[in-house]
Structure 1
Amino acid sequence: MLSRMFTECDGQLNVSFGYQCLGPRWKETNNAKEISTLEKDIKKQSNKSTFSCLSGAALSANVTLANTNICNGLIGTGLLPGLDSPKTFQRVPSSPSLSSADILSTSLQSNVSNLSNCSSPQSDDIEWDTTALRSMSAPSKTDGFLNAMEVQMAGGAAGEDRVQAVCSEENGWLFCAIYDGFNGRDAADFLAGSLYENIRINLNTLQNGEKEDGFRQSVLSCLQQALEQAENDFLYSVELAMDGRPDLVSIGSCVLVVLLYGQDLYTLSLGDSRAILATSEGITNGLMAVQLNDSHSIDNEVERSRFLSDHPNEPGTIIGGKVKGRLKLTRAFGVGYLKKKKLNDALMGILRVPKLVSPPYVSTQPSLCVHKVSEGDHFGIIASDGLFDFFSNEEAVNLVQYFILNSPSGNPAEFLVQQLVSKAAKNAGLTLEELMRVPAGRRREYHDDVTVIVILLGSNHRTATASTNQ
């Protein structure tokens, strides 16, 4: 079931997306009674998916420092609409018109030209380019599990955050990703235009006949290889374009990818976005919040110790609580000037990092995890760090649980964002209306860009709650 919600506050348009997984027997309907009946009967259906519902919401705080659609053209127009918020899910049939190799090679060629030529802002009335979407998601017919005859997609932007979700009811898998860009949107745009396709190509080389543990490790290896390929391609493009745009060497992004396939929930992360699991497994009352990935920041003592051990006896590696005085993150995509001397040399004056003794100072080694979903696992929260500036893992889980109990057919991700804005306004001594009138850019004084996805796990958690409260 596709859903779309628009809210307008003093001229600012926010869009959230939602998706109800109804299994292989689902059919589109515009009849409210039919939809209600379908919702009640979800738990009776044979559903291949491990999740029953996906919801997402996002809010902008930052002015975009660069407006380069890094994969402009074939991929970029489909994945990066001008409307600065996530779009609703859209059913996308596969097309054999282009091979994956054609897509990647074309996008990489366009990267170089578009990095050098920053395009003007796009109009807010631009809609999805469905031709580009079909090309991007055109899987070849093989035995790989990410190949499907039909997928459903959502994607969009909030300030420097980028978000993607791709689902196949047919094959029972879900891919979600949040790219939290910094110092500009170029790195996050690049990830939105290439990482999913890299992952799909790598995963579809796997053989399903492997033993269970071996197969899981192979999936994790494929995720890491896809990230490495994207990083190499991005930094290569930056090197080619840095004469015209030296600022590109300082632009980077956090990466959080979640892949749900069967009972296995895989995560890959760089930076400080978080994947939180809400589970009742092993406890008697309520839900426990389990963070599935590490926080790659100087503020994390474990990560700080690892970073210092990688640069022994070198003074000035941490200055003012930041890596070389520039970045709190210890692992991130892009940010080439903290990884390669020649990229640092492209910067002028005080922008250049002095005494680059033992680069790289920012790692691209991701945190990887696989979790087998159990009956006690209720939902997952995937969010950029803007959410956790205001709520702990436990508070976020409690808010989602409260919302689901009281509004079983609503959007818990949007509720989290609403609660964040209310708390930000209160902390600043403003009313909600006053905060919402603050333009993007100045809003960064009160809250960061925030993107949230909530995945309801299992087929019965939400519907059982809904029937209880009717």
Structure 2
Amino acid sequence: MLSGLMNFLRSCFRPRSDRYVHTGSDSGGRQDGLLWYKDLGQHLVGEFSMAVVQANALIEDHSQIESGCLNLHESGPYGTFVGIYDGHGGPETSRYVVDNLFQHLKLSISEHQSLSVDVVRKAYQATEEGFLSIVTKLWPTKPQIAAVGSCCLAGIISAGTLYIANLGDSRAVLGRAVKATAEVLAIQLSTEHNASIESIRQELRSMHPDDPQIVVLKHNVWRVKGIIQVSRSIGDVYLKKAEFNREPLYAKFRLREPFRRPILSAEPSISVHQLQPHDRFIIFASDGLWEHIGNQEAVDIVQNHPRNGIARRLVKAALQEAAKKREMRYSDLKKIDRGVRRHFHDDITVIVVFLDSNLVSRASLTKPPNISIKAGGINLRPNTLAPYSANGAT
């Protein structure tokens, strides 16, 4: 535990020169200003494309793709893991998740000798508990970390089965071909937890029947307790554990009244899908993409353009729409620096995973190479936490 804490502290509070981390034989991304991208790579059952654009002063999106062995003993099962982690209040939680969730999944698979919904759930639980232990250790000296959290979307493809697990409002969308019409339809795979959704507000009210202020419409935006839009996350400990809703946490975070049960949850929504030969690709993205582009529009872009650079093309389409909303040119938006850029759009992360039906349908006869690519910002000044902004609370 102590070594894990020290590694986390070093990653959070020591400046490092590498903003993006890439390991494995398929690494090699490129950077263009605030944009990082990996135009095309190979995973176990197809190809992938990946792109990230920064808007915040400190990027709060982290992401990864892992392909190869899914347990600690290198004996199978084999598959591909995709993670999108959209932080809020700072980058510390999303960075913790990118460093730990996949490792917890491999440990859970090793312990149970299989992949299942329960195994995925346990990996999420272990990640939440691990971050809680970090917050507890840091509470006396860095209490504001209790107000940092992250959405957490993961997809696992193994033996023709796709698992989707989600906390928050990142989204996974499948592109499925319709044989009769040759169309490719968008099918949303993830369940979102955002107070802007009526069913989520009803869920919160049913769970907190004695709290008429559990969801509040503030500046035309529904927020949990008037603070945050997402109802489930990793972190945000001050809204889960009453002992962290007090000084020395800044007064602007603290709730005026005590609470007896957790306000936010870390219980993921998990679904299982048997992949079909006409399933073409899956788009995984943080809500920075989806606030500008609809599901079908995104699927049409992927279907109608070359695979090479397709994640970067989706990011560009979102930025063009963001510029249009502000009645400005895309070329001018690109000139705006990080921090100020957050007034125009959020950090945006996109990973497009293509599915080769021939590879999906047959088990790997030989041990595949392990591929690991992580993307996200790690430029922090020593002994600082990222400044909180209400806009950052997803």
Cα separation, 1, equivalents of 2:241 and 2:147: 11
- Look up the match of 1:231: 128
**Which amino acid counterpart does residue 181 of structure 1 have in structure 2?**
G
**Which amino acid counterpart does residue 418 of structure 1 have in structure 2?**
K
> Does the aligned pair in 2 maintain the 1:2–1:19 contact within 8 Å?
no
Residue correspondence of structure 1 range 36-75 to structure 2 within 5 A:
49=44, 51-64=45-58
How far residue 423 of structure 1 moved from its aligned partner, in angstroms, is 1.7
Question: Higher Cα Rg: structure 1 or 2?
Answer: 1
Question: 1:379 aligned to 2:274?
Answer: no
**Which amino acid counterpart does residue 81 of structure 2 have in structure 1?**
F
SS for the counterpart of 2:151 is strand
Residue correspondence of structure 1 range 8-407 to structure 2 within 5 A:
8=32, 12=33, 14-21=35-42, 49=44, 51-64=45-58, 159-168=59-68, 172-207=78-113, 219-281=116-178, 284-319=181-216, 320=218, 321-346=222-247, 347-403=249-305, 407=306
How far residue 3 of structure 1 moved from its aligned partner, in angstroms, is 7.2
Q: What whole-Å deviation, never above 9, does each CA across 1:267-324 have from its counterpart, x for those lacking one?
A: 1110000011111257634111111111101111111111110001322111222111
**Which amino acid counterpart does residue 254 of structure 1 have in structure 2?**
C
SS for the counterpart of 1:192 is helix
CA change 1:291–1:356 in 2 (3 A) is: farther
Structure that is richer in helix per residue? 1
Percent of aligned pairs sharing the same letter: 31
CA change 1:164–1:268 in 2 (3 A) is: same
- Look up the match of 1:77: none
Cα separation, 1, equivalents of 2:36 and 2:293: 22
> Does the aligned pair in 2 maintain the 1:238–1:248 contact within 8 Å?
yes
How far residue 427 of structure 1 moved from its aligned partner, in angstroms, is 1.8
> Does the aligned pair in 1 maintain the 2:49–2:351 contact within 8 Å?
yes
Cα separation, 2, equivalents of 1:351 and 1:14: 32
> Does the aligned pair in 2 maintain the 1:61–1:444 contact within 8 Å?
yes
Cα root mean square deviation, aligned = 2.1
Cα separation, 2, equivalents of 1:171 and 1:297: 34
> Does the aligned pair in 1 maintain the 2:168–2:193 contact within 8 Å?
yes
Cα separation, 1, equivalents of 2:352 and 2:38: 11
**Which amino acid counterpart does residue 346 of structure 2 have in structure 1?**
D
SS for the counterpart of 1:440 is coil
Cα separation, 1, equivalents of 2:330 and 2:203: 41
- TM-score if structure 2 supplies the norm length? 0.78
Q: Which runs of 4+ in 1 moved over 6 A?
A: none
- The runs of 5 or more residues in structure 1 that have no matched partner are 23-48, 65-158, 209-217, 462-470
Q: What whole-Å deviation, never above 9, does each CA across 1:373-393 have from its counterpart, x for those lacking one?
A: 101101000000000010111
- Look up the match of 2:20: none
How far residue 2 of structure 1 moved from its aligned partner, in angstroms, is 4.2
- The runs of 5 or more residues in structure 2 that have no matched partner are 1-24, 70-75, 360-394
How far residue 204 of structure 1 moved from its aligned partner, in angstroms, is 1.5
CA change 1:436–1:372 in 2 (3 A) is: same
Cα separation, 2, equivalents of 1:359 and 1:282: 50
Cα separation, 2, equivalents of 1:396 and 1:227: 28
SS for the counterpart of 2:304 is helix
Cα separation, 1, equivalents of 2:312 and 2:202: 37
> How many residue pairs are counted as aligned between the two chains?
324
SS for the counterpart of 2:116 is helix
Cα separation, 1, equivalents of 2:34 and 2:242: 42
How far residue 15 of structure 1 moved from its aligned partner, in angstroms, is 2.5
Cα separation, 1, equivalents of 2:180 and 2:85: 33
CA change 1:19–1:2 in 2 (3 A) is: farther
Cα separation, 1, equivalents of 2:224 and 2:191: 18
Question: 1:417 aligned to 2:315?
Answer: yes
Cα separation, 1, equivalents of 2:264 and 2:34: 36
> Does the aligned pair in 2 maintain the 1:256–1:274 contact within 8 Å?
yes
SS for the counterpart of 2:350 is strand
**Which amino acid counterpart does residue 447 of structure 1 have in structure 2?**
H
SS for the counterpart of 2:341 is helix
Which moves more between the two structures, 315-324 or 325-334?
315-324
- TM-score if structure 1 supplies the norm length? 0.65
- Look up the match of 2:385: none
Q: What whole-Å deviation, never above 9, does each CA across 1:360-405 have from its counterpart, x for those lacking one?
A: 11111101011111011010000000000101111111111111xx
SS for the counterpart of 1:166 is strand
How far residue 432 of structure 1 moved from its aligned partner, in angstroms, is 2.0
CA change 1:317–1:356 in 2 (3 A) is: farther
Higher relative contact order (Cα pairs below 8 Å, separated by 6+ residues): 2
Cα separation, 2, equivalents of 1:460 and 1:192: 30
